[in-house]
Structure formats: structure tokens, C-alpha cells
Chains A and B, each alone.
Chain A
């Protein structure tokens, strides 16, 4: 992705620069800026970018949406932009209109399952739902007679146990028992039975890629400013090599995320290619998030561990995002079984086909 060839990217970048500069918001004493940021994103049709024009959305293609998410990662986005994009995408896929305002999605963990009973109400519990306590609606995937359906639910109809999560943005336990959907429609079959897990993983991969790009810049600049033992720490070979490793992890994350995004953009169905690319991306990007955050903190020393420095805005979201929609281990077991099932002689043809 290059930022100059895409109007949506430029618009998104400008909004975040103006209203969500990490330094400014980290020092803010209230959260008025969050409302202003959301209003600006909504007015530019970014929050419903993946909803078609005729259902009240931005009508952007999937690739553009992933580019928007990469930018949001560069600013350690503290509002449910990715979640709302995902919710709009699900509603739109099921032919349902999207409401304005903030939304989240459920389940956000691969093992959680929700069902719809004969009377049309939901049952089941989903853990780690981002922003569940503060959004207008939760859009969930739930099975009715074994068929996945998209349902739109008001959070006040659920029991929500709030928790801040690693990022402080909220990762809430939501019990859906007896909640009646505001809207409901079947999920098209071509999106398969892991639609939300895969799309959510690709969303987080794009955001992590962006956050690592920002961390690389912040850390490189810090190393060039900070003096110790009589010289800039960027002049120490040990520090240079750590930064080179950080660049390598960032590169891997960006490459894996954009490859998965490109695959989802190009494929009609959520087929084996989408699974292979997205699972690979979430694994590799999750590994890069852990390694990258550790290096960035090491180079920053004590200042990076303080509340007043912006670094934690990024690293805490890296840790939260790598857990959402399947962590590295969960996807790796799925991918490993997929490879084992194909057999040794199909491994290279599969890799080469991408």
C-alpha cells in the first residue's frame, strides 16, 4: 500500500492526524476527542466503508477497507473502527442495512459458539468482545439449525461483564441468553463456516501491520534522540541490530497482512486460499507483534514503560489485537492440520500457488 495513490487512505490519515494524534490523546484529560474522532470518521463514510451504497454505506472495496485499517493501526486506534467495519460487512453480506454509530461483533474467539433457538432468541456466551459495553449494536454470527445467521442485537438485551482487556478498550464477556435480535438473516454459504474468524483475523492483521510500522518509526526516532554513555544510543551496534530485527518483524507483518487482504479482495468465496493466507497472516503477524513490542520497549528503556509515553498505546493494542479472532497457536493448529491433510507433496505446490 502506498499512501499517495488512495484518496480514502489520505482522508483517514488526515482525520487521525488531526483528531487522534497519539501524543495529544495520551495527554488528554477527558474523552471529548473520541466523540469528535468518531463523528469525523462517520461523516467521511469510513465507519461503514464495507457497506454498499444502497444500504447506507461507503461502498468501498475490501482492499480499501484494509488500507483504512492499516492507517488506524498506525495511530493505535482507540475507537471501534475495525469492529464497526466488520459488523457492517456481516450485515451487508446478509443483505441487511447497517445502523449508524458504533458496533462490535461476536464471537471474537474461535471456540465460542452462539445459537438461535426455535423461538428466535439467542443463547450462548462470547468472551473478549471488544467495546461491547459502549457500542450501539453487536452484530453476531449464530447458528440456527446448524446454519450460520447474521443477527443484530442491542447490548442492553445481553448481560455484559466488562473488563478493560490488555488495551484498555474493553474486552467484555457477553451472555446472549434470551436476547431477541433486532434483525436477522442467513449468512451466504460462500463465506463458509469461519467467516467472522477469518475476516476478523485479517482486520487485526492489517491493524497490527500499521501499528508495527508506527512503532518502528517511533523507536528509530527515539534512538536517534536519546543520549547515553556519551553518544546517541542509535550509534550502538547492539541497538542498531535490535532496530534491524524490528524492521524485519515489521516487514513480515506488513507483507503477510497485505497478502491476506489482497487474497480476500480477489476471491469470490472464502475458499482454501483465503483460509491459508489469512491463517498464515494472523500467525506471522501475531509473532511479529510479540517480538516487535518487546524490542520497542527494550530500546525505549524506562520511559517507554511510563503512562506518559505513547509507546504503550501501541504495544498494549498489539497484545490485545493478536489475541482477537484466534491467536497464533489456534490458527497454527488449524493450518498445520490443513497441511498434514494435504500431505507432504502438496506443501510446495500450495505455497507456490500464492
Chain B
């Protein structure tokens, strides 16, 4: 066999299942006390700093990180449980999730010690929000075409240019930005980009809203004009950001958030179809449940590999490819399966509203964090085709 695709049937350990009960109790209490409203989180905004602080107080942000940086040194599988329970409860995690999933691990790996000690603990307390500065007006999927310049100057770099489609930049405290420090070379078109830690609330940065088609302000345009970044804010190797990207991808791509973003549609579909669905509706539900169960088992398996210190880049990319296509197609399946339901059950209006919302946001699911096309390229490379 030239390559093997394996997904060991990993089960979550007892400590993770104990934690799940604790997380569910916390979420139930939050909802009862009006700490957050799940429907409003879906339809309006998932950004709530006060909620993030309460999550931080529980020790559930950056929970796998070393204790000296505010972490809890818990396992990836425990983090997995927290992530999936928060996602399914439609809890407002936007203010801390990017830092928890991506930015924190990048800092852990590449930031100098004094910056780690400064920034990471505030992330774990839910007090520090990150955004990701990668896409630009002329570089989206083609990350290595980024042209926003970081020019070396006394004691640091001067940034000029712009980032676009930057989610939550208007609310974030920091960006991890990818800037051009050198031209690419003939041999390596990925050469010449460097990752920086950028403090957002300062002069030299202008943030303009870009409203999305669902009517929300999440995207932004971020303009840099002679913004000074001190040299200790360089993350990793100057000109060598391309080497740093791959190992993080498996974390970023294999989590439960990669197939659960529209899960509420399935739950509400089961609710309105009732306890005696006809054969067509029962078959539809059965297939969708079998598919999402399989995705979750794949995703847990990849996280088990990560916990074991492996780098399942191929498997992680497969989870995101199959998972995002599933969560994107879910509203259309629900639309078909609900076609013959009376229009007067009391919860029909609520279902329709959620379905319309999910239909509207579905296009982004196979674009954000790496498009289907980019993922398939990575999978093809994993198969030895590139």
C-alpha cells in the first residue's frame, strides 16, 4: 500500500466525559440566568467579552497550555469536549475562540518568553481577543501572494498596506499578521513572508467595516500606514513563515467547529418532524445523523493523533473538506425534508427563521480558513500527487 488512511476508533477518556458534565451544567446555568441567548448568538452576534471572561474563570480557554502561561495543562481531548459542547449550545465564543484555537498556539511556539508571559495569561482569562491578518485585496486563498510590506527599520519594522476580510478586527486587541519582508525567490515562491504580533488599538492602523450578505459586521478592512512593530514582535523566522504554517493546520482544520456550525438546523429539523416521521423524513434524518456521527468520529480520531504527538495534516484536511461540505449542505437537506410539514406547528416559524439564516451563511463555510479547493490541493499533496 503506497499510503494508508487510518482513523483509529479513539474514545474520549473518562476525565473528558466528567468535564463534559461540568461544561453542560455551566452552559445550562448561563442560559437559565440570561448569561447568553443561543438564538441571538446564532442570528446576531457571538461576540461577548463578559461571557468569555466567565469561561476564562472556569479555566477553559488555553486549557492545554503550560500553567506558567495561565493554562491548565489539560489534554487536547478535554479541550475537544469543551469546544464541541460550547458549539452545540450556540454559546458566544467569538471573543476568545480564535486566540484559543490558533493565535495562542502560534505565540506558544514562536513568541519570545516575555511576550508569552505578557499575552498568554490574559487570553486564558478571556480578556484578550485575536484576529487573523492573512487575506488581502489581491491575496485570499493564495496566501503567499501577500504584498503588505514590513520594512526593516531601527529596532523593528514599518508596516504599509492592507488586510481584507479580517473577521472581528474591529473588536480584537491583537492580530497575528502575515507581512512581506522580502520578495519571493525564483526557487521558492513562498519565501519572504513573516508573521508578526500586531497590537491593534494604536495609531497607524485604520479599521473599516465590510458588512457581509447576512447583514452582519464581522469582516473588516485593516489599513496600515507606517505602523511601527518592534522586532521582538516577530513570530518565528523572518522570511520563513511558510515553514511554520503546516504543523498548525491539523489543529485548525480538524476540530468540531468544522462540521457543527449549522448543527442547530438538524436539531430543529428533528423537532419539527416529530416522533412519527414518514419514511422519507426518517431516511433523511438517518442519513444526516450517520454522516455527522462519522465526521465526529473522524475528528475525535485526529485529535487523538494530535494528543499522541503525531501531525495528521492529511487526515485533518480531510475532516475539514468533508465536514464543511456537510454543514454547508445541511440547510438544503433540511429544506427538502421539511417540505411536507404543516405550517402551523408552533415551532415552525422558529425553524424557518433558523433555516433561512443557515442558508444565507452557508456559502462562507467552504471558504473560511482554507477553501475546498485549497484543502483538496493539500490532500492531493498528501496522496503524493504534487
Contacts of B4 in A (CB 8 A): 2-3, 213
Check if B270 sits within 8 Å of A344, measured CB to CB: yes
Check if A351 sits within 8 Å of B285, measured CB to CB: no
Q: Please give the distance in Å from A171's CB to the nearest CB on chain B.
A: 24
Check if B385 sits within 8 Å of A240, measured CB to CB: yes
Contacts of A347 in B (CB 8 A): 266-267, 270, 289
Complex-state Cα separation, A280 to B5, whole angstroms: 20
For B266-298 the 0/1 string (1 means CB < 8 A from A) is: 111011011111010111111101111111111
Q: Which residue of B lies closest to A329 (CB)?
A: B283
Q: Which of B275, B291, B380, B384 contacts A284 (CB 8 A)?
A: B291
Check if A241 sits within 8 Å of B286, measured CB to CB: no
For A325-350 the 0/1 string (1 means CB < 8 A from B) is: 00011011111110111011101100
B379 touches A (CB below 8 Å): yes
Complex-state Cα separation, A250 to B3, whole angstroms: 12
Contacts of A262 in B (CB 8 A): 9, 11
Among the interface residues A262, A334, A352, which one has the most CB atoms of the partner chain B within 10 A? A352
Q: Which of B277, B294, B315 contacts A340 (CB 8 A)?
A: B277
Q: Please give the distance in Å from B297's CB to the nearest CB on chain A.
A: 5
Contacts of A240 in B (CB 8 A): 376-377, 380, 385-386
For A249-265 the 0/1 string (1 means CB < 8 A from B) is: 01110111011011100
Contacts of B291 in A (CB 8 A): 283-284, 287
Contacts of A287 in B (CB 8 A): 287, 291
Check if B289 sits within 8 Å of A335, measured CB to CB: yes
Complex-state Cα separation, A241 to B268, whole angstroms: 33
B375 touches A (CB below 8 Å): yes
Main secondary structure of the interface of A (DSSP, over half): helix
For B341-375 the 0/1 string (1 means CB < 8 A from A) is: 00000000000000000000000000000000101
Contacts of A223 in B (CB 8 A): 385
A234 touches B (CB below 8 Å): yes
Check if B384 sits within 8 Å of A220, measured CB to CB: yes
A226 touches B (CB below 8 Å): no
Known: A243-B380, A244-B375, A336-B285. A284 touches B294 (CB 8 A): yes
Contacts of A261 in B (CB 8 A): 9
Known: A244-B380, A352-B84. A335 touches B9 (CB 8 A): no
B6 touches A (CB below 8 Å): yes
A221 touches B (CB below 8 Å): yes
B220 touches A (CB below 8 Å): no
Q: Please give the distance in Å from B75's CB to the nearest CB on chain A.
A: 17
Check if A348 sits within 8 Å of B88, measured CB to CB: yes
For B240-268 the 0/1 string (1 means CB < 8 A from A) is: 00000000000000000000000100111
A94 touches B (CB below 8 Å): no
Check if B379 sits within 8 Å of A248, measured CB to CB: yes
A27 touches B (CB below 8 Å): no
Check if B285 sits within 8 Å of A251, measured CB to CB: no
Check if A280 sits within 8 Å of B315, measured CB to CB: no
Check if B376 sits within 8 Å of A340, measured CB to CB: no
Complex-state Cα separation, A158 to B283, whole angstroms: 35
B383 touches A (CB below 8 Å): yes
Known: A241-B373, A280-B290. A336 touches B380 (CB 8 A): no
Main secondary structure of the interface of B (DSSP, over half): helix
For A58-86 the 0/1 string (1 means CB < 8 A from B) is: 00000000000000001000000000000
Contacts of A280 in B (CB 8 A): 289-290, 293-294
Check if B315 sits within 8 Å of A251, measured CB to CB: yes
Check if B385 sits within 8 Å of A220, measured CB to CB: yes
B18 touches A (CB below 8 Å): no
Among the interface residues A217, A255, A263, A334, which one has the most CB atoms of the partner chain B within 10 A? A255
B146 touches A (CB below 8 Å): no
Contacts of A116 in B (CB 8 A): none
Check if B271 sits within 8 Å of A344, measured CB to CB: yes
Known: A341-B275, A343-B275. A243 touches B20 (CB 8 A): no
Contacts of A224 in B (CB 8 A): 384-385
Known: A251-B322, A284-B290. A340 touches B385 (CB 8 A): no
Contacts of B379 in A (CB 8 A): 243-244, 247-248
Check if A332 sits within 8 Å of B376, measured CB to CB: no
Check if B289 sits within 8 Å of A352, measured CB to CB: no
Complex-state Cα separation, A261 to B301, whole angstroms: 15
Check if B385 sits within 8 Å of A332, measured CB to CB: no
Check if B9 sits within 8 Å of A279, measured CB to CB: no
Contacts of B88 in A (CB 8 A): 348, 352
Contacts of A216 in B (CB 8 A): 5, 383
Contacts of B318 in A (CB 8 A): 247-248, 251
B136 touches A (CB below 8 Å): no
For A314-334 the 0/1 string (1 means CB < 8 A from B) is: 000000000000001101111
Complex-state Cα separation, A2 to B8, whole angstroms: 8
Complex-state Cα separation, A201 to B1, whole angstroms: 26
Q: Which residue of B lies closest to A255 (CB)?
A: B7
15 A-B contact pairs sorted by A residue (CB < 8 Å): A3-B4, A213-B1, A216-B5, A243-B383, A247-B383, A255-B294, A280-B289, A280-B294, A284-B293, A287-B287, A334-B282, A339-B285, A340-B285, A351-B292, A354-B296
A interface residues, Cβ below 8 angstroms from B:
1-3, 74, 213-214, 216-217, 220-221, 223-224, 234-235, 237, 240-241, 243-245, 247-248, 250-252, 254-256, 258-259, 261-263, 276-277, 279-281, 283-284, 287, 328-329, 331-337, 339-341, 343-345, 347-348, 351-352, 354
Given A261-B9, A262-B9: 15 more A-B contacts, CB < 8 Å: A220-B384, A243-B379, A247-B382, A251-B298, A251-B318, A280-B290, A280-B294, A284-B290, A333-B283, A335-B285, A336-B286, A337-B286, A344-B267, A347-B289, A348-B267
B interface residues, Cβ below 8 angstroms from A:
1-9, 11, 20, 84-85, 88, 263, 266-268, 270-271, 273-277, 279, 281-287, 289-298, 301, 314-315, 318, 321-322, 373, 375-377, 379-380, 382-386
The 4 closest A-B pairs by CB, nearest first: A332-B286, A336-B282, A336-B286, A335-B286
